[in-house]
A and B are shown apart, each in its own frame.
Chain A
Amino acid sequence: MKSDEALIAGIDIGAATAKAVFLRGTEILSSCVIPTGESVKKAAETVMQQMLDELRLSKEEVAYSIATGYGRRAVDFADEVITEISCHGKGVSFLYPEARTVIDIGGQDSKVIEIDVTGNIANFVMNDKCAAGTGRFLEVMARALNADIGEIGMLSLQGDEPCQISNTCTVFAESEMISLRAEGKSRDNILAGIHSAMAHRIIIMGNSVGFKKQIVFTGGVAKNTGMKKALEDRLGQEILIPENPQIIGALGAAILAGNKVKR
């Protein structure tokens, strides 16, 4: 079988969602996103099986697979594991060859990655212990404000006087939301303040790496239009978002798997 015909798979087991991408050569055959749930191992098997069922293929037909994401080591059927940092770089570079910076905000971590022309990592930084600046932070804030996580970005764009959020600790920020509501601040303005504070935190973290053009935003939080706007406002630069930003890690894993088959 020629390497271009080989079926290859990338599986990204994140804190919130499990993703899979199947490639044949450089053609994306299909992708899938499911909630991770309580078992990363089970999520990996489920997302893989869903893809195989959809494409009417068997596991044996997959020539090579690479697992990534925080649950990568639990994917025992994968041929190899590679970190999500490397995979996001490759995935972005595949879609945007001119990209040099990746901002990835996932369920439990956030990263700023500088990539070279080949999509290899040139530098990177990740959030430390704290969940502030991650998707989980937004989830908690949405719940505190009785808003749908899928809508908070749009709602934040309607704020005309963003609140000053003094604390981006997830727990303390939740109580701060309640105080702001008690003061009569609108939900939209609170959300605008939250997005702005989170963007500030990401940019401070990423300054040690820098934000070279083009900047591509990936991960589940990239679907949040308010966060895109908040980051663009603070950076003064346009940020690109892939059509499905959640699958970029899995896509990168699949591309790296393809490289293995070519060798």
Chain B
Amino acid sequence: MAPYYSELLKLCGFEEEEITGQQHRIESAFKKLDLGPKDMEKAAGRVKKYFDIELRGVRKILGVWIKELIDLVLAREEGKKLIYYGYPPFQYTGLAIKAAAAAQGEFWIGCPEMIFCQTFGQIFNKLIPILEEGEAQGLPPGHAMCSLLQIKNGALSKKMIPTPDLSIATSYFCDMGPKADELMQHRYGGYPVLYVDSCLDSPWGEWPDFDQERVHYFGKQLNGLFRSLKDLLGIEIDNDVWYGARNLAAPLFMATNNLAMLLASDPVPLDIADSELVINLPAAGMGVAIEEGAEAVEILVEEVKKRVEEGFGVVPRNAPRVLLTFQSLVDPVFNRLFSEVGLAVPSIYVLLPPPNKPKSLPYPTLGEKRAEVAMFGGMYHSSYGLIKRMQECIAFTQVDGVVYNYHYSCRPLTCNSKLVKPFIERESKLPTLLLDMDYYDDRNYSAAALRTRLEAFAEMLKAKKATA
């Protein structure tokens, strides 16, 4: 008799031999995660309903997420050291650590809460008990606490994931991340936390060049991180390691970029519920997500290319096109709403790669060089920069409107929303819809209420197109 998880794992692209060969690991991880036969049955139904599993690439990517989850959960007992970093991701830094750490023994490096979003959120729809545990353990509800951090707190408290050997708090953007890390450090055994800070105070118009003091400050923080990694774990990161690390992820980034280009077609060939699975692969873990993830995305690219050639779309050709800020990272019901109301999403803001910086200063240290790149490409270091990058995305994707959906407990994104709408409406002459939601916790919005807004926006764009 096939094991209880067999159907789901096959739907998620596992090969038969992977299931039998990994049986002990799979069962051990699922036991720790309290995932039983009923969960598998429900998840199989959810995957069939919300994801385009006719596409082998989608199935494989779902599988990559489950493999990352298993690797994370078993990392400690399999003798690995764990380094956690927060979200927004520290992907190149994480890769560099992985590349440098290879000589120092086995490491699991990544963002555990993102893996929980994609698996316990998207696939199993079983995040609420983890969120509730995170709320009970010091990040209470009703205080606009970031749900992503509640997930990490809950998973640690429930002992679903090991306490790390090191946590890197990406306070370079979010002011809540380091506070929550401090709380978790205190609660779960006093593991070391390295804080990477930056100055977010950006005057309007500061992009693409930044105040040098800000670059130096952020760079100094990154240099401090590299020094601490050497002191704590013997991991040495220099220029060679850094650029070598980039090669590790090059296939995944290249495949993702190729997919982004294809999604801009008309008709749009892939639903955003499916493309969401791709976007955060580099953010999640530095193991199977980078290695098998690249292969899975390449498969998807080939399948989507075929769809484009055949003129297949998830919405009809000439449907109103919108640029979206971000999908829900846990809720395929929300992500599916767009195609259900007839809106084509040729891209989301974070999927399109940032342009090359026009000029770069000869910074003396690796930290400063990385800081400048991060500030230029990131969405957090300048509201003006964010909007200018949105305009570039608009020009590339030829959209009819913009949906700026923001994570309601995220102060930078919420404040930016009030700048984005009037600016895009005035400068790009495009209708802009603001959607107040939560990227990581579907209890904090009503998909039915958001549907009315999206449906009305679609009606408006259709009417405008008809009279244009």
Binding site for B on A (CB under 8 A): 70, 82-86, 109, 118, 120-126, 128-129, 208
B233 contacts partner chain A, Cβ-Cβ < 8 Å: no
- In the bound assembly, the distance between CA atoms of A64 and B189 in angstroms comes to 67
Contact A122 B460 (CB under 8 A): yes
B405-441 CB mask vs A (1 if < 8 Å, else 0) is 0001000000000100110010000010010100000
Contacts of A118 in B (CB 8 A): 467
Task: Closest B residue to A85 by CB, please name it.
Answer: B456
Known contacts: A120-B460, A129-B444. The answer to whether A83 contacts B422 by CB under 8 A is no
What are the residues of chain A within 8 A of B455 when measuring CB–CB? 83
Determine whether B452 belongs to the interface, using a CB cutoff of 8 Å to chain A: yes
Point out which of A86, A123, A128 has the most chain B C-beta atoms below 10 A from its C-beta.
A128
Is the beta-carbon distance between B456 and A121 smaller than 8 angstroms? yes
Q: Which residues of chain B come closer than 8 Å to A82, judged between CB atoms?
A: 459
**B373 at the A interface (CB under 8 A):** no
Q: Is B445 engaged at the interface, CB distance under 8 Å to the other chain?
A: yes
Is B102 among interface residues, defined by CB-CB distance under 8 A?
no
User: Whole-angstrom distance from the CB of A67 to the nearest CB of chain B?
Assistant: 13
Contact B434 A84 (CB under 8 A): no
Tell me if B453 is interfacial: C-beta within 8 Å of chain A: yes
A120-B460, A128-B436, A208-B434 given as contacts; is B422 within 8 A of A85 (CB)?
Answer: no
Complex contact A121–B452 (CB within 8 A): no
Indicate whether B250 reaches chain A with its CB closer than 8 angstroms: no
* CB of A84 to closest CB in B, whole Å: 7
Residues of A within 8 A of B431 (CB): 122-123
Distance in angstroms from B325 CB to nearest chain A CB is 16
**What residues on A are CB-neighbors of B460 within 8 Å?**
86, 120-122, 124
The interface residues of chain A lying within 8 Å CB-to-CB of B456 are: 83, 85-86, 121, 124
In chain B, what residue has the closest Cβ to A128? Answer: B436
Cα–Cα distance between A83 and B462 once the two chains are bound (Å): 13
B136 at interface by CB-CB < 8 Å: no
Chain B residue numbers with a CB within 8 Å of A86 are: 456, 459-460, 463
Contact for B452 among A120, A126, A129, A208, CB less than 8 A: A126
Measured between alpha carbons, how far is A85 from B456 in the docked complex, in Å? 6
Chain B contacts for A125, CB-based, 8 A: 434
**Bound complex: CA of A227 vs CA of B455, how far in Å?**
29
Contact B421 A126, beta carbon cutoff 8 Å: no
Residues of the B chain whose Cβ atoms lie less than 8 Å from the Cβ of A120: 460, 463-464, 467
* A121–B459 touching, CB < 8 Å: yes
* A134-B183 Cα distance, complex, nearest whole Å: 38
Closest 7 CB pairs of A and B: A85-B456, A128-B436, A121-B460, A83-B456, A120-B463, A86-B459, A83-B455
Which chain A residues lie closer than 8 Å to B434 at the CB level?
125, 208
Given A129-B444, A129-B445, answer yes or no on A85-B452 (Cβ-Cβ < 8 Å): yes
Pairwise interchain contact A70-B452, C-beta atoms closer than 8 A:
yes
9 residue pairs bridging A and B, Cβ less than 8 Å apart: A83-B459, A84-B452, A85-B452, A85-B456, A86-B463, A118-B467, A120-B467, A121-B459, A129-B444
Min distance, Cβ B460 to any Cβ of chain A, angstroms: 4
Query: Do residues B463 and A121 form an inter-chain contact, with CB atoms below 8 A?
Result: yes
Chain B nearest CB, measured from A32 CB (Å): 23
Chain B residues positioned under 8 Å from A83 (CB to CB): 452, 455-456, 459
Residues in A neighbouring B408, C-beta threshold 8 A: 128
Which chain A residues border B444 with CB–CB below 8 Å? 129
Q: Which residues of B contact A128 (CB under 8 A)?
A: 408, 436
Closest to A82 in B: B459
Contacts of B459 in A (CB 8 A): 82-83, 85-86, 121
Residues of A contacting B445 in the complex (Cβ-Cβ under 8 angstroms): 129
Which residues from chain A contact B452 at a C-beta distance below 8 Å?
Answer: 70, 83-85, 126
Give chain A nearest CB distance to B422 CB in angstroms: 7
